[in-house]
Chain A
Amino acid sequence: LAKTTQPISMDSYEGQEVNITCSHNNIATNDYITWYQQFPSQGPRFIIQGYKTKVTNEVASLFIPADRKSSTLSLPRVSLSDTAVYYCLVVNSGGGADGLTFGKGTHLIIQP
Chain B
Amino acid sequence: GAVVSQHPSWVICKSGTSVKIECRSLDFQATTMFWYRQFPKQSLMLMATSNEGSKATYEQGVEKDKFLINHASLTLSTLTVTSAHPEDSSFYICSARVGREGEAFFGQGTRLTVV
Considering the chains assembled together, what is the distance between the CA atoms of A52 and B34 in angstroms? 27
Considering the chains assembled together, what is the distance between the CA atoms of A104 and B49 in angstroms? 21
Chain A interface main SS type? loop
Of A10-18, A19-27, A40-48, A66-74, the stretch lying at the interface with chain B is A40-48
| A93 interface contact, C-beta 8 A | yes
- Let me know if B104 and A100 touch, CB within 8 A: yes
What bracket does the count of chain B residues touching chain A fall in?
Answer: 20 to 34
What bracket does the count of chain A residues touching chain B fall in?
Answer: 20 to 34
Considering the chains assembled together, what is the distance between the CA atoms of A82 and B100 in angstroms? 29
- Let me know if A44 and B44 touch, CB within 8 A: yes
Out of A42, A46, A98, A103, which one reaches B43, CB within 8 Å?
A103
Q: How far is the CB of A70 from chain B (nearest CB, A)?
A: 20
Residues of B whose CB lies within 8 Å of any CB of A are: 1, 4, 6, 32, 34, 36, 43-46, 49, 59, 91, 93, 95, 97, 99-109, 111
Could you name 29 residue pairs across A and B whose Cβ atoms are closer than 8 Å? Answer: A34-B103, A34-B104, A41-B91, A41-B109, A43-B95, A43-B108, A44-B44, A44-B93, A44-B106, A45-B106, A46-B104, A49-B101, A49-B103, A91-B102, A96-B97, A96-B99, A97-B49, A97-B97, A97-B102, A98-B49, A99-B46, A99-B49, A100-B44, A100-B104, A101-B46, A102-B44, A102-B45, A103-B43, A104-B43
